[in-house]
Structure 1
Amino acid sequence: MSDMFVTLGTWNWLIFGIILMALELLAPGIFLFWLGLAALLVGLLSFAFAPGWQLQILLFALFALFALAAVPLWRRLARASAAPSQDNPFLNRRSAALVGREFTLEKPIVGGNGTVRIDDTVWRVAGPDTPAGSRVRIVQADGAQLTVAAA
């Protein structure tokens, strides 16, 4: 067992780091990336300073601790950058952008359901029975279902 540690060299750390980063591609979760980076750093430091195997293991353990701390920080940063943009807050939420606008019913609302044409799309609407051609205001959007009220 001690022979394995003695033979730990630069190339072993670099290969180990590359394998961990490749595993990250197969099972994404950000964690293996940081451990692979720690192994690569130990490999690069081994090229520069040629430390003993004990120091290599200690360096990897130290970098792995930083990796454990980096994972939640990285996830928080990624979550913050995924916030809706201020330039276009309704991007990928087209129905939410329709709330408050008025349109003309294409088909009457009978039994609580009807349709309205918005640009080149026909949307299903729900609301009180209303004849076709009436103006309605969208008061709520739930996915592709719009709720309307008389305008």
Structure 2
Amino acid sequence: MWDFLQHLSYWNWLAFGTLLLILEVFGAGGYLLWIGLAAASVGLLTFVFPGLPWAGQFILFGLLSVLTAVFWWQRQRSAAKPSDQPGLNQRGSELVGRTFALHEPISGGRGKIKAGDSLWLVVGADLPAGTPVRVVGQNGVLLQVEAVQPG
């Protein structure tokens, strides 16, 4: 083992970096990309400075791995911005605050309203069909409704 470490060459680092990048292609989610690039960088530095001792190579690899991961994390964090369409892919959230007539009575706490061309399950106090209700919230596919007070 010591003999291998004493004669660690740039080919070993480039092969290790290539292996990590290949594994990244199979779905590591970005984690191995930065470690693979750090290994390839150590390989290039070992090519340029062939007398670099193995301990220095490992220290350099560790530092580059941490630095590239932190750099990417900060870049991703600064690039994240709030969506200009916060309700996107949250079907039903656009119905909150709107008023509808009950399509089917609320019985046992559950009923249905018709919104556009869709029927929605609703939860609320028992009410007869045709009663105007306001959507006050959403819990998954269930809309929470309350009776609209006249006036």
Q: Deviations over 1:122-147 (max 9, x none)?
A: 11101112221222100111001111
Contact 1:34–1:64 (8 Å) recurs in 2? no
Counterparts of 2:35 and 2:145 in 1: how far apart (Å)?
Answer: 53
Q: Matches of 2:51 and 2:56 in 1, distance apart? A: 10
Structure-2 residue corresponding to 1:96: 93
Compute the displacement of 1:116 (Å): 0.8
In the alignment, is residue 15 of structure 1 matched against residue 15 of structure 2?
yes
In the other structure, the counterpart of 1:143 is 140
Match of 1:52 in 2: 51
Structure 1 regions of 5+ residues with no counterpart? none
* Aligned length, in residue pairs: 148
- Who is 2:102 aligned against? 105
* Closer, same or farther: CA 94–135 of 1 in aligned 2, 3 Å: same
Question: Sequence identity, in percent?
Answer: 45
The one-letter code matched in structure 2 to 1:110 is S
Q: TM-score with structure 2 length normalisation?
A: 0.78
d(CA) in 1 for partners of 2:62, 2:124 = 58
Residue of structure 2 in register with 1:62 after alignment = 60
Deviates more, 1:7-16 or 1:99-108: 7-16
Q: What residue ranges of structure 2 are gaps of 5+ in the alignment?
A: none
